[in-house]
Amino acid sequence: DTAVSQTPKYLVTQMGNDKSIKCEQNLGHDTMYWYKQDSKKFLKIMFSYNNKELIINETVPNRFSPKSPDKAHLNLHINSLELGDSAVYFCASSQDSSGAYEQYFGPGTRLTVT
Amino acid sequence: GENVEQHPSTLSVQEGDSAVIKCTYSDSASNYFPWYKQELGKGPQLIIDIRSNVGEKKDQRIAVTLNKTAKHFSLHITETQPEDSAVYFCAASKTGGGNKLTFGTGTQLKVEL
């Protein structure tokens, strides 16, 4: 069974569109994250939720809105997509937000904005 | 905020040789230092980590060392194999930071036959 899964794996869309990426973890973890990996492979955290509550909100345009319907799911909605949003987006989870446990990453969603 | 620098950006070694990747961090409060391996088309996977109360940790062919005074930590891979070829990332975080990982810029390791 996949521990952290994301859908879709690939997403190609045009500028100005709105799209969502979904993430699910079956590890029973309390904390989930969204990371962005740019074309130079630089990984940067965007958001983190602990038990459905937002705990990390980095300097990200407000076109990006995370939503956690329950602690096993963390979705990322992006409005008015721009060329610079093209990247690979990774979801991750950890047992809690204490820092005592490792983060498990999903396979990534490659978003291409044309 | 935390800043993590990683060197080298690319590293090519012959099979069987050792590989060393180095990172420095800026926030003296950081106390957790994981290393992730990312294979092509996949998500990062934790390979080893170290906490600030330990100076060295080893797991088979992989070891990590930490120098808190100098704010340096390094990944050592011995007897490299072709399957070690991947991008390696170091990262740092601190207690109370919500488990926020700050990543280095990555090292592309190529193990040649």
Residue A100's pLDDT band, with cuts at 50, 70 and 90, is: confident
CA-wise closest residue to A58 among B11, B14, B103:
B103
How far B14 CA lies from chain A's nearest CA (Å)?
Answer: 24
- Write the CB contacts of B64 (distance below 8 Å, at least 6 apart in sequence): B33, B35, B48, B49, B50, B56, B57, B73, B74, B75, B76
Q: Give the residue carrying structure tokens 């969502």.
A: A20
Residue A98's pLDDT band, with cuts at 50, 70 and 90, is: confident
- Whole-number percent of chain A with pLDDT over 70: 98
How far is B3 from A104, CA to CA, in rounded Å? 22
B101 and A CB contact within 8 Å: yes
How far is A50 from A113, CA to CA, in rounded Å? 30
B99 and A103: CB-CB below 8 Å?
yes
CA-wise closest residue to B102 among B45, B12, B36:
B36
CA-wise closest residue to A60 among A71, A75, A79, A47:
A47
Kindly give the confidence (pLDDT) of every residue in chain B, 113 residues in length, as a single tens digit, with 9 standing for 90 and above. Answer: 899 999 999 999 999 999 999 999 999 999 999 999 999 999 999 999 999 888 999 999 999 999 999 999 999 999 999 999 999 999 999 988 788 999 999 999 999 99
What mean pLDDT do residues A11-31 have? 97
Rg over CA atoms, chain B: 14
Question: What's residue A99's pLDDT?
Answer: 82
What does the DSSP assignment read for chain B? ---EEEE-SEEEEETTS-EEEEEEES-TT--EEEEEEE-TTS--EEEEEEETT-SEEEETTEEEEEETTTTEEEEEE-S--GGG-EEEEEEEB-TTTTT--EE---EEEEEE-
Query: Coil, strand, or helix at residue A100?
Result: coil
Q: What is chain A's mean pLDDT, rounded?
A: 94
A99 and B87: CB-CB below 8 Å?
no
A102 and B CB contact within 8 Å: yes
User: pLDDT, tens digit, for every residue of A37-75?
Assistant: 999 999 999 999 998 899 988 888 999 999 999 999 999
Sort out which chain B residues have CB atoms less than 8 A from A104's CB and list them. Answer: 46
Sort out which chain B residues have CB atoms less than 8 A from A5's CB and list them. Answer: none
B95 and A CB contact within 8 Å: yes
Q: Give the residue carrying structure tokens 């592309």.
A: B108
| CA distance readout (Å), A4 to A21, A48, B112 | 13, 15, 32
Residue A1's pLDDT band, with cuts at 50, 70 and 90, is: low
